[in-house]
Amino acid sequence: MDLRSRLLRSKNISAVVIALGTNDLQSRTEGTYPRLAIDLVMAEAQKLPVLWVNIAYDRKLHPDYDRRAKKFNTALILARKTYKNLFIATWDKASVEQSSKYEKDGIHLMPSGYRSRTDFLVPTIAKFWNKQSRLISIPTATTTTLFSAPSAGSYSAK
């Protein structure tokens, strides 16, 4: 189901969280992919605030994937000029010293890597949500759905 369908079926959505899977850049090598993917998601999200978790790989095992991740992450930063409702969760910075938490393929995280990613995401999303809920005056009784599969534009758990 696409993002637009999910948004239309759900009620009281106040924000969207986008976290690409580890295979997304593995299969998409064309140079236009980052901006195309970003533009597509942002069009679907319309004016909703979007927290987009940027991308990281084991830099030592896959320098090519690391270059693609940097290109995608740079496209996210540049897209902030177009989309004021786009915010970036800087997983690439949080995961710098975590090459031991990747599987041998350098792409997929081991259980300890997923725990580290969760330890990064939970407070990052909470910080994002707290800021957004103050800006849009959401009543405390409102239920809000965040999807995870993206003003200062970067968030980290620190």
pLDDT tens for 45-59 read 999 999 999 988 877
pLDDT score at 60: 79
- Displacement of CA 64 from its chain's centroid (Å): 20
Q: How many residues does the chain have?
A: 158
Q: Does the pLDDT of residue 145 top 50, yes or no?
A: no
pLDDT score at 40: 93
CA–CA dist 99, 28 (Å, integer)? 23
Class in CATH terms, 3-155: alpha beta
Q: Does the pLDDT of residue 155 top 60, yes or no?
A: no
What are the residue boundaries of the structural domains of the chain, listed by start? 3-155
pLDDT score at 6: 75
Task: Give tens-digit pLDDT for 2-24.
Answer: 777 777 787 778 899 998 776 76
Task: Give tens-digit pLDDT for 85-142.
Answer: 999 999 988 887 666 788 888 788 899 999 999 999 999 999 999 888 776 554 443 3
Q: Does the pLDDT of residue 35 top 90, yes or no?
A: yes
* Torsion of the alpha carbons at 27, 31, 34 and 39, rounded to the nearest 10: -120
Is residue 89 within 8 A of residue 54, CB to CB? The reply is yes
pTM score, whole prediction: 0.79
3-state secondary structure of 145: coil
pLDDT score at 150: 36
pLDDT score at 29: 74
Q: What is the mean pLDDT of residues 32-47?
A: 92
pLDDT score at 5: 79
